[in-house]
Amino acid sequence: MGCTRSTELFTRLDGCFSPLDPPRFLCDEMLQGLGQWLRVAGYDTRLPVPGARDREVLRDARKENRWLLTCDRGLVLHAGAGNHVVLLETEGLEENAREITWRFDLDWLHAPFSRCKRCNARLLTREDWMSPVPIFHCPSCRQDFWQGSHVVHMRQRLHEMNVYRRSNNRNLPPGLSYS
């Protein structure tokens, strides 16, 4: 089958189609929060157009060389599913994030705040006389992101995920134990 089966649960993935490229993602509609965090970490991450059919989502992921992250078993079993479809076995944002950290050996400090959390475009920095630090600006959706306490908090969360990455890299994946 063209997917990660339950018998191969938590198989580690190479993480990229080319060893020279960082992984690119497409998150299904149920994983929008995870998708936004991947963007915050700097990964090129698309979300499907609302109401998109399964076969369209699968086609887009394949065409754009993206890992399709999903918690929908139906999508995995779809005739058009390929090896790029990754079924997440955990529930909730925190556990999902840990699962992909383990499976992709994902570096959450890959390129923090280089992409727009809203639309995935590359952010620019611009000076503003009102702000003592540069402002992140999205040239696509025109959103400004100020480097205030919210950004500090998000950066802290990225650091925490990388602490998890380092501490669990040689151990068992999330949700499993030796007992």
The minimum distance between CB 39 and Zn ion, in angstroms, equals 9
SS (H, E, C) the chain: CCCCCHHHCCCCCCCCCCCCCCCCEEECHHHHHHHHHHHHCCCCEECCCCCCCHHHHHHHHHHCCCEEEECCHHHHHCCCCCCCEEECCCCCHHHHHHHHHHHHCCCCCCCCCCECCCCCCECEEECCCCCCCCEEECCCCCCEECCCHHHHHHHHHHHHHHHHHHHHCCCCCCCCCCC
Candidate segments 18-26, 32-40, 94-102, 132-140, binder of Zn ion by CB under 5 A: 132-140
Least separation in angstroms between residue 99's CB and Zn ion is 27
Of 39 and 84, CB closest to Zn ion: 39
Site for Zn ion contains 57 (CB under 5 A) = no
Interface pick for Zn ion out of 81, 85, 116, 161 (rule CB under 5 A):
116
135 is a site residue for Zn ion (CB under 5 A): no
| In the complex, minimum distance from the CB of residue 137 to Zn ion, in angstroms, rounded to a whole number | 9
The verdict on 12 binding Zn ion (CB under 5 A) reads no
Based on the shown chain and the rule CB under 5 A, indicate whether residue 140 belongs to the binding site for Zn ion.
Answer: yes
Find the part of the chain contacting Zn ion (CB under 5 A) among 26-34, 86-94, 112-120, 152-160: 112-120
- What is the Cα 155 distance to its own chain's centre? 15
Closer residue to Zn ion, CB minimum distance, 77 or 151: 151
Stretch that binds Zn ion, among 25-33, 61-69, 130-138, 146-154 (CB under 5 A): 130-138
